[in-house]
């Protein structure tokens, strides 16, 4: 099988583009399957990661192609700036001119840091441009009738598809990209590009009503359609009374699902453990080694290392089942950016589909969800004592049983099939608009 997507004769083709490995991206998988139901041949173009995901695979009838750097541009850029141990020539000159050993060390460290930052920036740009080139090449080969770009960092491929083949383009913005956590680009550039993307796209989709309101107001465009990240109906949910316990089989379990990242309340949750008797924190999702080491050090310092578990990510269709052994789910986003403050995260829907109560941030959309469904408590996500108190109250057996019942009721009303029909309508409208 070719490592690149190929066009078939006479078939309707759709291309979904995403800048991750597509191994655990439930939203993009649900979108691909929705398009497939509309009788399209669907290709997902994703990124080849370091953990060995296949370059080509068929997943539920969807063709998946993962690409890495093609021409060595990123490798050459990195090598040019790291062949001297990460230091620029000017940095080496500074070291040589230093008058004392201490000054030499300080200047060397500064030069190394700047060189590494420069190398990282150059590598990021090189790999981004390379990915765009690969995506545009896929557009040229496939000539897709429909293209869905997932987030800002794929939309130049959508612009190319619009110009080259008049493809219908859907921009699925999972966040407010100019206001996203820890973005390295200049904000003015992000705003200018997204203003263009929102106008080029035949339809814009978002995950949070508050995000949609901001985007519409900011760019003076029609309000995007909100398609919530509700788990697909194939998820089986809780597995009855046979809930697996963590560790030695004793004590309640608080669980966090998703990428284990900064500003998600992970550190605060670890610190809160010391104030909640016998509570275990389970982190279910991918985590970078350096950050995991930081969290393990924090757990040791707080005296709770034995009560923090790291569990590897599972397939999107298995998430709800993987949550079944816990007693409460965590959604403690920190208000470090506008995108976080207005987020409606998919983990909320996964928790209630698994019958779990929620302890979440007292941010607008999270608090509204918890309040409307009466499924838990909201707190200041930076207040460790408040988090501990909410966790202790939520796992108290009688209270936990009531909240579980409420979560199970909410889970029955939150149906992906309704969102799927909404999304299918977006595709129909985008195709109609592109063909005018």
Got the DSSP string for 202-252? SEEEES-HHHHHHHHHHHT-PPPEE---PPPTT-----TT-PPPPTTS-S-
- Is the pLDDT at 275 greater than 70? The verdict is yes
Superfamily, domain 13-68+145-230+418-434: Glycogen Phosphorylase B; (3.40.50.2000)
Q: Tens digit of pLDDT for each residue in 319-370?
A: 999 998 899 999 999 999 999 999 999 999 999 999 999 999 999 999 999 9
Q: Which CATH architecture has domain 253-414?
A: 3-Layer(aba) Sandwich (3.40)
The CA angle 67-69-74, to the nearest 5 degrees, is 155
- Is the pLDDT at 432 greater than 50? The verdict is yes
- Is the pLDDT at 295 greater than 60? The verdict is yes
281: tokens are 């924190």
Task: Please state the rounded mean pLDDT for residues 421-433.
Answer: 96
- CA-nearest of 138, 127, 212 to 426 is 212
Look at 433 and 100; give whichever has higher pLDDT.
433
Q: How far apart are CA 144 and CA 138, in angstroms?
A: 9
Q: Tens digit of pLDDT for each residue in 175-205?
A: 999 998 767 788 899 999 999 999 999 999 9
Report which DSSP code applies to 411: H
Residue 184: the pLDDT is 74
- Is the pLDDT at 6 greater than 80? The verdict is no
Residue 87: the pLDDT is 38
The confidence band for 270, taking pLDDT boundaries of 50, 70 and 90, is very high
β-bridge mates for residue 257, sequence order:
284
Residue 116: the pLDDT is 62
Residue 298: the pLDDT is 97
Q: Tens digit of pLDDT for each residue in 112-158?
A: 566 666 666 777 778 888 999 999 999 999 999 999 999 999 999 99
Residue 249: the pLDDT is 56
Helices (H) and strands (E) in the chain, counts: 16, 14
Identify the weakest region by mean pLDDT among 74-83, 381-390, 395-404: 74-83
Q: Tens digit of pLDDT for each residue in 388-418?
A: 999 999 999 999 999 999 999 999 999 899 9
Q: Tens digit of pLDDT for each residue in 83-94?
A: 434 433 333 332
Residue 52: the pLDDT is 72
Residue 85: the pLDDT is 42
Whether 206 and 215 have beta carbons less than 8 Å apart is answered as yes
The CA angle 5-129-195, to the nearest 5 degrees, is 100
Q: Tens digit of pLDDT for each residue in 50-69?
A: 667 889 999 999 999 998 86
- Domain range annotation of the chain: 13-68+145-230+418-434, 83-122, 253-414
- CA-nearest of 265, 276, 281, 254 to 382 is 265
Q: How far is CA 436 from the centre of its chain?
A: 34
Three-class SS of 24-40? CCHHHHHHHHHHHHCCC
Q: Indicate the SS3 state at residue 276.
A: coil
Q: How far apart are CA 151 and CA 170, in angstroms?
A: 10
Q: How far apart are CA 47 and CA 66, in angstroms?
A: 5
- Is the pLDDT at 421 greater than 60? The verdict is yes
Look at 75 and 281; give whichever has higher pLDDT.
281
**Host H or E run for residue 365:** helix 364-373
The confidence band for 2, taking pLDDT boundaries of 50, 70 and 90, is very low
Average confidence score pLDDT of the chain: 85
């Amino acid at each position: 099988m070719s490592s690149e997507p190929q066009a078939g004769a006479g078939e309707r083709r759709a291309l979904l583009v995403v800048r991750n490995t597509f191994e655990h991206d439930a939203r993009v998988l649900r979108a691909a399957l929705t398009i497939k139901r509309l009788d399209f041949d669907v290709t997902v173009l994703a990124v080849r990661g370091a953990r060995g995901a296949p370059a080509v695979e068929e997943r539920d009838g969807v063709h998946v192609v993962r690409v890495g750097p093609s021409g060595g541009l990123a490798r050459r850029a990195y090598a040019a700036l790291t062949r001297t141990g990460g230091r620029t020539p000017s940095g080496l000159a500074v070291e040589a001119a230093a008058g004392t050993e201490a000054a030499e060390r300080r200047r060397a460290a500064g030069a190394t840091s700047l060189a590494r930052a420069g190398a990282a920036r150059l590598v990021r740009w090189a790999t981004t441009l390379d990915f765009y080139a690969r995506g545009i090449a896929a557009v040229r080969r496939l000539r897709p009738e429909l293209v869905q770009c997932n987030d800002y960092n794929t939309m130049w491929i959508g612009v190319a598809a619009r110009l080259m083949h008049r493809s219908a383009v859907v921009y699925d913005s999972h966040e407010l990209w100019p206001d996203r956590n820890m973005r390295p680009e200049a904000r003015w550039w992000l705003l200018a590009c997204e203003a263009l993307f929102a106008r080029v796209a035949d339809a814009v989709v978002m995950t949070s009503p508050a995000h949609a309101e901001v985007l519409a107001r900011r760019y003076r465009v029609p309000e995007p359609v909100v398609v919530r990240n509700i788990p697909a109906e194939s998820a089986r949910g809780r597995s009855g009374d046979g809930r697996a316990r963590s560790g030695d089989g004793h004590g309640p379990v608080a669980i966090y699902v998703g990428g284990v990242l900064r500003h998600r309340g992970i550190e605060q949750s670890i610190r809160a453990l010391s104030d909640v008797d016998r509570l275990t924190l389970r982190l279910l999702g991918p985590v970078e080694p350096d950050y995991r080491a930081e969290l393990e050090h924090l757990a040791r310092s707080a005296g709770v290392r034995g009560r923090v578990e790291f569990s590897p990510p599972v397939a999107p269709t298995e998430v709800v089942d993987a949550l079944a052994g816990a007693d409460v789910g965590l959604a403690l986003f920190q208000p470090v950016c506008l995108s976080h403050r207005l987020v409606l995260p998919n983990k909320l829907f996964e928790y209630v589909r698994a019958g779990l109560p929620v302890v979440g941030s007292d941010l607008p959309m999270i608090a509204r969800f918890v309040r409307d469904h009466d499924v838990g408590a909201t707190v200041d996500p930076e207040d460790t004592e408040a988090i501990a108190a909410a966790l202790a109250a939520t796992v108290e057996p009688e209270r936990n049983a009531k909240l579980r019942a409420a979560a199970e009721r909410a889970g029955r009303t939150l149906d992906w099939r309704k969102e799927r029909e909404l999304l299918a309508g977006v595709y129909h409208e985008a195709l109609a608009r592109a063909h005018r």
